[in-house]
Structure 1
Amino acid sequence: MPGMTFWFEFASTYSYLAAMRIGPLARDAGVEVRWRPFLLGPTFRAQGWNTSPFNIYAAKGRNMWRDVERQAAGLGLPPVVRPDPFPQNGLLAARTATFGEGAAWGPGFVRAVFTAEFAEGRDISDPAGLAALLDGLGQPGHEILARAGTDQSVKDRLRLVTDDAQAQGIFGAPSFVPDDGELFWGNDRLEEALAWAAAG
C-alpha cells in the first residue's frame, strides 16, 4: 500500500483541521498514513521568530482565525475556541504522541488533543488533562504520561524527528510527504498529497 507521512504540530490550527479529516480521505485513497508529531519552535527560531507568525502579523492572524472558523463549520466540527495563550505549549502532548506513534490509539489521541485545544479551549500542557484523554481511549493515561514525559528515548526521538523535518525542508504544519519525498504544505493540499501518494 502506498504511504504518506502526516507532519503535524499541536499548536497549528490547520493541523487540527487536517487531523480531523485525513483518516477517511486516506482510506478512500488507499494510502497508509504515518502520523508524525514534530515541533515548529526550532524552525520559527531559525527564521528569527519567537512566536507564531499569526501573532507577529496581526492581519494574517485575524484572517487565519476566521478561515479556520469557516472551515471547521464546513466540516461539521464544533465552533472554534481560541485557546489562551496561543500558541499552546504542546511539548508533553507531542512527546506522548511520539510515544504512541504506530500504536492503534495514536491517531485517536492526536484528534482528542486537537479537539480539547481548538474546540474546547483547554490547556493541552496539563498532564491531568492529557491523561484523561488517554483514559477516554481505554489507555492507562497516567502510566503513558509518566513514560512519555520522562523517558529519554522518547525525548530524543522527538528531537531527532524535529531535526529531520527541518532537514527535509519542512517549514510549517501540516505538511504531507508521500513515499517519494514530494512535499505538500497546508491543509488545503491534503487531497492533492493523497492523490500523489496513491499514484505512486
Structure 2
Amino acid sequence: MSEPATLQFWYDFASPYSHIAAQIIEQKAAGLTVEWRPFLLGPIFKAQGWTDSPFNLYPAKGAYMMRDVARLCADLALPWRRPSSFPRHSVLAARVALQLPPHEIGRFSRAVFHANFAEDLDIAQEAVLMGLLRQLGLPLALLDEATAPEHKIQLRRATEEAQARSVFGAPFFLVGDEPFWGADRLDQAVAWARAQS
C-alpha cells in the first residue's frame, strides 16, 4: 500500500479565501498529509507590478470578493465578520506559524484566520497573537522568537519558494508539481492527491 500523498496548502493570513480553505481542509483531506505553508502575498503581488491587493486596486472586484466570501461562509456554516481593515499585516503571524511543528501549525493557523475574519481582530498586534497562543496552550516565547533574524529569513525563504513554484495567489494547493489555485479548487486538489496515493 502506497503512502498518502502530500497536499501542500500555501496561504497568507490576510487572504479571506485562505480563511475558508483553512477551516475545511483537514476534514476534506482526511487521510492525506496536509502540509501547511504560510507565506506572504505582498512580494508576489509586487513581482506582478501591483502595489496593493488586487481587491483594493480594483474596487468592484473587492466588493464582489467580500460578498462572495460572506456567501461561502454562510453556505459552510463558518463564522464571518467583514474585517474593518483589509488586508491586515500577516508577517508576525506567519513567522510564529513557521516555528510550529506539523501537528500544531494547523490549529494555530485556523485560530489566526478566525481572529481576523470572524472576530475582526488585528492579527498584526502582538497582544492578539499572544492571546491566541495562550488560548491554544502554545509557548508564549514563540512571539518573541518571531522577531529573531533567523525567523525573518525563514519567512522570506518560504515566500521565495512560493514564487519559485509559481504560486501567484492564495490559497494555493500543490500535489507534487500539480497546481490548484483558490478555495474552490480544494476538492479537485484533494481528489488529485488521493489518485496519487
Both proteins in one fold, TM over 0.5: yes
Distance 2:82 2:57 in 1: 16
| DSSP-derived class of the 2:35 partner | strand
Alignment-mate amino acid for residue 64 of structure 1: M
56-65 or 152-161, larger mean C-alpha shift: 152-161
1:53 matched to 2:54? The reply is yes
Deviates more, 1:42-51 or 1:168-177: 42-51
Counterpart position of 2:131: 132
Alignment partner of 1:108 is 2:107: yes
Equivalent position amino acid for 2:152 in 1: K
The aligned residue for residue 176 of structure 1 is 173
In 2: Cα distance, 1:101 partner to 1:54 partner: 32
* TM-score under structure 1 length normalisation: 0.93
What amino acid is aligned across from residue 11 of structure 1 in structure 2? A
Cα-Cα RMSD: 1.0
Deviation, structure 1 residue 36: 0.4
Which residue pairs with 1:85 in the alignment? 85
Matched-pair contact (CA < 8 Å) for 1:105–1:137: no
Q: Which residue of 2 aligns with 1:20?
A: 23
Consecutive unaligned residues of structure 2, counting only runs of 5 or more, are none
- Structure 1 unmatched ranges of 5 or more: none
Q: Distance in 2 between matches of 1:41 and 1:84?
A: 19
**Number of residue pairs matched by the alignment:** 193
Which consecutive segments of 4 or more residues in structure 1 shift more than 6 A? Answer: none
Report Cα offsets for 1:137-178 as digits up to 9, x if no partner. Answer: 11122x11011222x222111111101111111100000001
Q: Hey, what's the Cα distance between the residues in 1 that align with 2:53 and 2:151? A: 25
Provide the residue aligned with 1:148 in structure 2: 146
Aligned-pair identity (%): 50
**Separation of aligned partners in 1, 2:142 and 2:186:** 30
Determine the C-alpha separation between the residues in 1 that align with 2:36 and 2:173: 10
Q: Distance in 2 between matches of 1:84 and 1:185?
A: 26
Give the C-alpha shift of residue 101 in structure 1: 4.6
Give the corresponding residue for 2:7.
4
Q: Does 1:123 align with 2:119?
A: no
Note closer, same or farther for the CA distance 1:56–1:87 as it changes in structure 2 (3 Å cut).
same
Alpha-carbon distance in structure 1 between the residues aligned to 2:182 and 2:91: 21
For residue 189 of structure 1, the aligned residue among 150, 169, 185 is 185
- TM-score scaled to structure 2, two decimals? 0.95
The more displaced of 152-161 and 58-67 is 152-161
- 1:3 and 1:32 in contact (8 A); partners too: yes
**Distance of 2:152 and 2:106 partners within structure 1:** 19
Residue 81 of structure 1: CA displacement? 1.9
Alignment of 1:61-100 (within 5 A): 61-78=62-79, 80-100=80-100
